[in-house]
Amino acid sequence: MPPRVNGKNSARQISAELGAFVLDTLGLTAAIEWRTRRFQKLTGASCKLTVDPAVPVAMPEIYAETIFDFYNEALKNVAQHAMASRVAVALTVTPRDVTVKFSLPLPWMPRVPPPRG
């Protein structure tokens, strides 16, 4: 008899394996784009992704996996804690640095007018 599989955990495992497949097959940029589309579909939040440079930078596989894992965890935190209806993500990869910037409105923070000059 096959072991019982929890549907929620099974879906997470399949999604994680699919993300790893996309990363291994198509590279970091495509995997990040795929994950962003999945985030939008699952949360309903509007997500604008900017990747610079458009041409991928060659890097060791372990670095790409680490960046992808970090990105996944950051999106998970946005979904669980920020309650944002829209998110802007800027990913910049250079031969020496990787920068990921998340920008989102925080619904509980009051809007503060800019200081007068």
Please confirm whether the linkage preceding 113 is cis (ω < 30° from 0): no
Question: Looking at the domain that runs over 7-103, which CATH code has it been given?
Answer: 3.30.565.10
- Which candidate, 48, 57, 47, places its Cα nearest to that of 93? 57
- 46 neighbors 72 (Cβ within 8 angstroms): no
pTM for the predicted model, two decimal places = 0.72
Check residue 36 and give its pLDDT. Answer: 93
What are the residue boundaries of the structural domains of the chain, listed by start?
7-103
- 39 neighbors 45 (Cβ within 8 angstroms): yes
Instruction: Please give the chain's pLDDT, 117 residues, in tens.
Output: 444 445 555 555 555 666 776 787 778 888 899 899 999 998 899 999 998 876 677 888 888 888 889 998 999 888 888 778 889 999 998 888 889 999 988 666 566 666 776
